[in-house]
Amino acid sequence: MFSYSLKIPYLYTKLFPSVIHRKEVSGKKIFLSFDDGPHPEITPRVLTLLDKYNAKATFFCLGKNLVENPNIAQMIIQGGHRLGNHTFTHENAWKIKFGEYINSIEKTQKIINELNPSTENIFRPPYGKITPAIANILKEKEYQVFLWSWILGDYKKNIHIDKVLKKLIHTIQPGDILVLHDQPKSFENLKIMLPKLLYLLSKQGYIFEKL
């Protein structure tokens, strides 16, 4: 949503106090999340790598991808990870009518609830774009809305992965929420970044949990 920045702007956290960008935790816990999946080839590779580090994560999924890949969604659930809502087709809250946007969220949540009936309603807006009206109605509907502490830019063509990870390693804090993407546009960077991230943060004693 912003000109690319690793961390979410401070002012944004004040404008939307009900939106969660980090969590209070005890111990060295951090929260990995993946947006835009599930993908039939990329998501299983992510799950295999997470399992290697006994890492749990949250997957903010598009409804259309859940419909197309229900078996991959079940792999996420069976791996002890969490499904989250990312709208049905990656709608932009600033470019769509309010009612259409809410309908997209509710349509996707119905699919998630059918796949995993015990789940709570958690949502991340595509592009990080949200409005006060949307934030308020989602709060009324008892959704938890998550943004991030760190968006790692795996979708960017010219990203300097080692520079990003160096900054992350030196400034990350327990309770931070990290965003990556299990989709084709990000895969060339993801397949390099994710193994390094898991190794380096595990070496520092961090534990990866789902939201």
Per-residue pLDDT of the chain (211 residues; tens, 9 = 90+): 433 456 666 667 777 888 999 999 999 999 999 999 999 999 999 999 999 999 999 999 999 999 999 999 999 999 999 999 999 999 999 999 999 999 999 999 999 999 999 889 999 999 999 999 999 999 999 999 999 999 999 999 999 999 999 999 999 999 999 999 999 999 999 999 999 999 999 999 999 999 9
Catalytic residue status for 51 = no
Q: Which CATH architecture has domain 10-208?
A: Alpha-Beta Barrel (3.20)
Query: Residue 201 and residue 56: Cα distance in Å, rounded?
Result: 14
Catalytic residue status for 35 = yes
Query: Which of the residues 35, 154, 176, 182 is marked catalytic?
Result: 35
Structure tokens at 119: 């789940």
Nearest to 49 by CA among 207, 146, 190, 157: 190
For the four alpha carbons of 90, 93, 94 and 96, in that order, the dihedral sign comes to: positive
Query: Which of the residues 39, 154, 181, 182 is marked catalytic?
Result: 181
User: Max CA-CA distance within the chain?
Assistant: 46
